[in-house]
Chain A
Amino acid sequence: LAKTTQPISMDSYEGQEVNITCSHNNIATNDYITWYQQFPSQGPRFIIQGYKTKVTNEVASLFIPADRKSSTLSLPRVSLSDTAVYYCLVGDMKTGGFKTIFGAGTRLFVKA
Protein backbone atom coordinates (compact mmCIF):
# COMPACT_ATOMS: atom_id res chain seq x y z
CA LEU A 1 0.00 0.00 0.00
CA ALA A 2 1.35 3.39 -0.95
CA LYS A 3 2.15 5.56 2.05
CA THR A 4 0.87 9.10 2.03
CA THR A 5 2.23 12.24 3.66
CA GLN A 6 0.14 15.34 4.29
CA PRO A 7 0.60 18.50 6.35
CA ILE A 8 -0.72 17.95 9.84
CA SER A 9 -2.72 21.16 9.92
CA MET A 10 -3.62 24.23 7.90
CA ASP A 11 -5.38 27.49 8.68
CA SER A 12 -7.40 29.57 6.25
CA TYR A 13 -9.99 32.32 6.15
CA GLU A 14 -13.49 32.25 4.80
CA GLY A 15 -13.68 32.86 1.06
CA GLN A 16 -10.13 31.77 0.34
CA GLU A 17 -9.07 28.88 -1.84
CA VAL A 18 -7.36 26.09 0.07
CA ASN A 19 -4.92 23.66 -1.47
CA ILE A 20 -3.86 20.56 0.47
CA THR A 21 -1.03 18.57 -1.04
CA CYS A 22 -0.44 14.89 -0.44
CA SER A 23 2.79 13.05 -1.26
CA HIS A 24 2.65 9.43 -2.39
CA ASN A 25 6.06 8.68 -3.85
CA ASN A 26 5.58 4.92 -4.22
CA ILE A 27 2.19 5.01 -5.91
CA ALA A 28 1.62 1.98 -8.12
CA THR A 29 0.36 1.89 -11.69
CA ASN A 30 -3.15 0.73 -10.76
CA ASP A 31 -3.54 3.01 -7.74
CA TYR A 32 -6.21 5.68 -7.58
CA ILE A 33 -6.11 8.72 -5.30
CA THR A 34 -9.10 9.40 -3.08
CA TRP A 35 -9.81 12.21 -0.65
CA TYR A 36 -12.18 12.07 2.29
CA GLN A 37 -13.47 14.70 4.71
CA GLN A 38 -14.29 13.97 8.33
CA PHE A 39 -16.11 16.08 10.89
CA PRO A 40 -15.85 15.30 14.61
CA SER A 41 -17.88 12.26 15.66
CA GLN A 42 -18.90 11.47 12.09
CA GLY A 43 -17.77 8.95 9.52
CA PRO A 44 -15.54 10.10 6.65
CA ARG A 45 -17.27 11.52 3.62
CA PHE A 46 -16.02 10.94 0.07
CA ILE A 47 -14.90 14.14 -1.62
CA ILE A 48 -13.18 13.24 -4.87
CA GLN A 49 -11.21 10.53 -6.62
CA GLY A 50 -8.82 10.61 -9.54
CA TYR A 51 -6.14 8.74 -11.44
CA LYS A 52 -4.30 11.43 -13.38
CA THR A 53 -4.43 15.07 -14.56
CA LYS A 54 -7.38 16.97 -13.15
CA VAL A 55 -10.74 15.96 -11.77
CA THR A 56 -13.43 18.42 -10.74
CA ASN A 57 -16.78 17.97 -9.06
CA GLU A 58 -19.24 20.26 -7.35
CA VAL A 59 -17.21 20.58 -4.17
CA ALA A 60 -13.52 20.28 -5.08
CA SER A 61 -10.84 19.79 -7.68
CA LEU A 62 -8.05 17.27 -7.63
CA PHE A 63 -4.81 17.99 -9.43
CA ILE A 64 -2.45 15.11 -10.19
CA PRO A 65 0.86 15.75 -11.96
CA ALA A 66 2.17 13.46 -14.67
CA ASP A 67 4.43 11.49 -12.33
CA ARG A 68 1.50 10.95 -9.92
CA LYS A 69 3.82 11.13 -6.93
CA SER A 70 1.69 13.81 -5.35
CA SER A 71 -1.79 15.23 -5.57
CA THR A 72 -3.44 18.46 -4.52
CA LEU A 73 -6.97 18.83 -3.25
CA SER A 74 -8.31 22.28 -4.01
CA LEU A 75 -11.30 23.66 -2.10
CA PRO A 76 -12.61 26.87 -3.67
CA ARG A 77 -13.86 29.66 -1.40
CA VAL A 78 -13.94 27.78 1.88
CA SER A 79 -16.46 28.53 4.57
CA LEU A 80 -16.47 27.91 8.31
CA SER A 81 -18.25 24.62 7.70
CA ASP A 82 -15.24 23.30 5.79
CA THR A 83 -13.32 23.05 9.07
CA ALA A 84 -12.59 19.33 9.21
CA VAL A 85 -9.91 16.69 8.79
CA TYR A 86 -9.03 15.79 5.21
CA TYR A 87 -7.53 12.42 4.37
CA CYS A 88 -5.67 11.42 1.21
CA LEU A 89 -5.67 7.72 0.38
CA VAL A 90 -4.02 5.75 -2.40
CA GLY A 91 -4.93 2.28 -3.54
CA ASP A 92 -5.75 -0.12 -6.34
CA MET A 93 -9.45 0.25 -6.95
CA LYS A 94 -9.97 -1.98 -9.93
CA THR A 95 -9.15 -5.28 -8.28
CA GLY A 96 -11.53 -4.65 -5.45
CA GLY A 97 -8.83 -5.73 -3.04
CA PHE A 98 -8.07 -2.23 -1.87
CA LYS A 99 -7.78 -1.84 1.87
CA THR A 100 -8.41 1.72 2.95
CA ILE A 101 -5.60 2.65 5.30
CA PHE A 102 -5.87 6.15 6.69
CA GLY A 103 -2.88 8.34 7.33
CA ALA A 104 -2.83 11.14 9.86
CA GLY A 105 -4.82 13.53 7.69
CA THR A 106 -4.76 17.32 7.53
CA ARG A 107 -6.73 19.36 10.04
CA LEU A 108 -8.11 22.39 8.22
CA PHE A 109 -9.30 25.26 10.39
CA VAL A 110 -11.25 27.98 8.62
CA LYS A 111 -11.48 31.29 10.43
CA ALA A 112 -13.99 34.09 9.97
Chain B
Amino acid sequence: GAVVSQHPSRVICKSGTSVKIECRSLDFQATTMFWYRQFPKQSLMLMATSNEGSKATYEQGVEKDKFLINHASLTLSTLTVTSAHPEDSSFYICSARDLGAGGTDEQYFGPGTRLTVT
Protein backbone atom coordinates (compact mmCIF):
# COMPACT_ATOMS: atom_id res chain seq x y z
CA GLY B 1 0.00 0.00 0.00
CA ALA B 2 0.88 3.65 -0.12
CA VAL B 3 3.33 5.06 2.42
CA VAL B 4 3.11 8.25 4.43
CA SER B 5 6.12 9.42 6.39
CA GLN B 6 6.48 11.94 9.18
CA HIS B 7 9.52 13.80 10.38
CA PRO B 8 10.67 13.96 13.06
CA SER B 9 9.39 10.88 14.85
CA ARG B 10 9.89 12.54 18.20
CA VAL B 11 10.93 16.00 19.28
CA ILE B 12 11.54 17.74 22.57
CA CYS B 13 11.40 21.51 22.66
CA LYS B 14 11.37 24.25 25.22
CA SER B 15 8.27 26.20 26.11
CA GLY B 16 7.82 29.23 23.86
CA THR B 17 9.64 27.82 20.85
CA SER B 18 8.09 26.63 17.58
CA VAL B 19 8.26 23.16 16.12
CA LYS B 20 7.63 22.04 12.55
CA ILE B 21 6.41 18.56 11.68
CA GLU B 22 6.52 17.29 8.11
CA CYS B 23 4.14 14.84 6.50
CA ARG B 24 5.00 13.31 3.13
CA SER B 25 3.17 10.95 0.81
CA LEU B 26 6.00 8.89 -0.65
CA ASP B 27 4.48 7.15 -3.66
CA PHE B 28 1.28 8.98 -4.44
CA GLN B 29 0.00 12.49 -4.75
CA ALA B 30 -2.29 13.69 -2.01
CA THR B 31 -4.51 16.66 -2.66
CA THR B 32 -5.86 16.33 0.85
CA MET B 33 -4.00 15.65 4.06
CA PHE B 34 -5.30 15.60 7.60
CA TRP B 35 -3.68 16.40 10.93
CA TYR B 36 -4.68 14.68 14.16
CA ARG B 37 -3.67 14.94 17.78
CA GLN B 38 -3.85 12.05 20.19
CA PHE B 39 -3.45 12.18 23.95
CA PRO B 40 -2.59 9.04 25.95
CA LYS B 41 -5.37 6.44 26.07
CA GLN B 42 -7.60 8.63 23.91
CA SER B 43 -8.79 8.50 20.34
CA LEU B 44 -7.44 10.58 17.49
CA MET B 45 -8.83 14.09 17.35
CA LEU B 46 -9.00 15.73 13.93
CA MET B 47 -7.33 19.14 14.03
CA ALA B 48 -7.49 20.31 10.44
CA THR B 49 -7.88 19.37 6.81
CA SER B 50 -5.08 20.50 4.56
CA ASN B 51 -5.76 21.00 0.85
CA GLU B 52 -2.93 21.53 -1.60
CA GLY B 53 -2.72 25.11 -2.74
CA SER B 54 -5.36 26.49 -0.41
CA LYS B 55 -5.86 27.37 3.21
CA ALA B 56 -6.40 24.63 5.73
CA THR B 57 -9.78 24.07 7.29
CA TYR B 58 -9.58 23.87 11.06
CA GLU B 59 -11.92 21.99 13.35
CA GLN B 60 -13.81 23.87 16.01
CA GLY B 61 -11.66 24.71 18.99
CA VAL B 62 -8.34 24.41 17.16
CA GLU B 63 -6.39 27.69 17.04
CA LYS B 64 -5.30 28.30 13.47
CA ASP B 65 -2.70 30.87 14.54
CA LYS B 66 -1.10 28.40 16.88
CA PHE B 67 -1.14 25.37 14.59
CA LEU B 68 0.05 26.62 11.22
CA ILE B 69 -0.53 24.25 8.32
CA ASN B 70 1.07 24.54 4.92
CA HIS B 71 0.35 22.20 2.01
CA ALA B 72 2.55 23.63 -0.70
CA SER B 73 2.89 20.52 -2.85
CA LEU B 74 0.97 17.35 -3.61
CA THR B 75 3.31 15.30 -1.46
CA LEU B 76 4.11 17.53 1.51
CA SER B 77 2.14 19.13 4.31
CA THR B 78 3.68 20.73 7.36
CA LEU B 79 2.28 21.49 10.80
CA THR B 80 4.03 24.16 12.84
CA VAL B 81 3.22 24.38 16.52
CA THR B 82 4.00 27.99 17.40
CA SER B 83 4.93 29.17 20.87
CA ALA B 84 4.59 25.66 22.20
CA HIS B 85 3.52 25.05 25.78
CA PRO B 86 3.60 21.87 27.88
CA GLU B 87 -0.10 21.29 27.22
CA ASP B 88 0.74 20.97 23.51
CA SER B 89 2.71 17.84 24.31
CA SER B 90 0.96 15.08 22.40
CA PHE B 91 1.21 12.54 19.60
CA TYR B 92 0.60 14.23 16.25
CA ILE B 93 -0.47 12.07 13.32
CA CYS B 94 -0.99 13.02 9.71
CA SER B 95 -2.82 11.17 7.00
CA ALA B 96 -3.01 11.53 3.25
CA ARG B 97 -5.87 10.67 0.97
CA ASP B 98 -5.28 8.70 -2.19
CA LEU B 99 -8.38 8.98 -4.32
CA GLY B 100 -8.11 5.79 -6.30
CA ALA B 101 -9.07 5.28 -9.89
CA GLY B 102 -12.08 3.22 -8.84
CA GLY B 103 -13.62 6.19 -7.09
CA THR B 104 -13.24 4.85 -3.59
CA ASP B 105 -11.04 6.62 -1.16
CA GLU B 106 -8.16 5.24 0.80
CA GLN B 107 -6.53 7.15 3.58
CA TYR B 108 -3.04 6.35 4.75
CA PHE B 109 -1.63 7.39 8.07
CA GLY B 110 1.85 8.45 9.03
CA PRO B 111 3.71 6.86 11.94
CA GLY B 112 3.14 9.87 14.18
CA THR B 113 5.35 12.46 15.88
CA ARG B 114 5.74 12.53 19.64
CA LEU B 115 6.06 16.16 20.78
CA THR B 116 7.23 16.90 24.30
CA VAL B 117 7.34 20.51 25.45
CA THR B 118 9.40 21.16 28.56
A100 and B111 form a contact (CB under 8 A): no
When chains A and B are docked, how far (Å) is the Cα of A44 from the Cα of B44? 9
Report the interface size for chain B: residues with CB under 8 A from the other chain: 27
Cβ of A29 to closest chain B Cβ, rounded Å: 15
A100 and B106 form a contact (CB under 8 A): no
A93 and B104 form a contact (CB under 8 A): yes
Cβ of A39 to closest chain B Cβ, rounded Å: 10
B residues less than 8 Å from A109 (CB atoms): none
Q: Which of B31-71 contact A (CB under 8 A)?
A: 32, 34, 36, 43-46, 49
Interface class of chain B by DSSP: strand
A94 and B111 form a contact (CB under 8 A): no
When chains A and B are docked, how far (Å) is the Cα of A102 from the Cα of B93? 13
1/0 per residue, CB under 8 A from B, across A77-106: the answer is 000000000010000011010111111110
Given A96-B32, A100-B34, residue A46 in contact with residue B46 (CB < 8 A): no
A100 and B95 form a contact (CB under 8 A): yes
Q: Which of B66-118 contact A (CB under 8 A)?
A: 91, 93, 95, 97, 99, 103-112, 114
A44 and B43 form a contact (CB under 8 A): no
The residue in chain B whose Cβ has the minimal distance to the Cβ of A105 is B43
B112 and A41 form a contact (CB under 8 A): yes
A46 and B107 form a contact (CB under 8 A): yes
The residue in chain A whose Cβ has the minimal distance to the Cβ of B108 is A46
What would be 19 A-B contacts, judged by CB atoms less than 8 Å apart? A41-B112, A41-B114, A43-B111, A44-B44, A44-B109, A49-B104, A87-B44, A93-B103, A93-B104, A93-B105, A94-B105, A96-B32, A99-B49, A100-B46, A100-B95, A102-B44, A103-B43, A104-B43, A105-B43
Extra contacts, 10 of them, besides A42-B112, A96-B105, A99-B49 (Cβ < 8 A), are: A32-B105, A38-B44, A41-B112, A42-B111, A46-B1, A93-B103, A96-B97, A96-B99, A101-B46, A104-B43
| A positions within 8 Å CB-CB of B | 32, 34, 36, 38, 41-46, 49, 87, 93-94, 96, 98-105
| B positions within 8 Å CB-CB of A | 1, 4, 6, 32, 34, 36, 43-46, 49, 91, 93, 95, 97, 99, 103-112, 114
